[in-house]
Amino acid sequence: MNRKYLIPIIASLTFLFGTVFITLPFIPLGWLLYAVTALLLIPYFKPVQRAFEWMARRDKTGFTKRACHYAAKIYRWAKDEKNADLFEKMGE
């Protein structure tokens, strides 16, 4: 199996688990999994990418920079250098 297809599969699974956890009122993990899904799917959906870039410009804490760094590491693991470079550029 090509590792390039692992990112959409992982994102689909995190969305599915997020949907399950959002229905359980005693486990507030759903929104976090939705955020991870959106982060992983940034290169595939331009509106999400623009929204993340807007959030990165307004962020003073460095959270989005760290998120971009970790997402780039995941994409490099999946041997998707083009999208990993995208995340590195967004994290600067």
Phi, psi of 24 (to 5 degrees): -90, 115
Q: Does the pLDDT value for residue 29 go beyond 60?
A: yes
Q: How many residues does the chain have?
A: 92
Which of 90, 92, 79 lies closest to 42, judged by CA?
90
Instruction: Look at residues 55, 53, 85 and name the one whose alpha carbon lies nearest to residue 69.
Output: 85
Convert the pLDDT of each residue in 36-85 to its tens digit.
Answer: 898 888 888 888 888 888 888 888 898 888 888 888 998 888 888 888 88
Alpha-carbon distances, residue 9 vs 24, 40, 43, 59, 87 (angstroms): 23, 10, 14, 29, 19
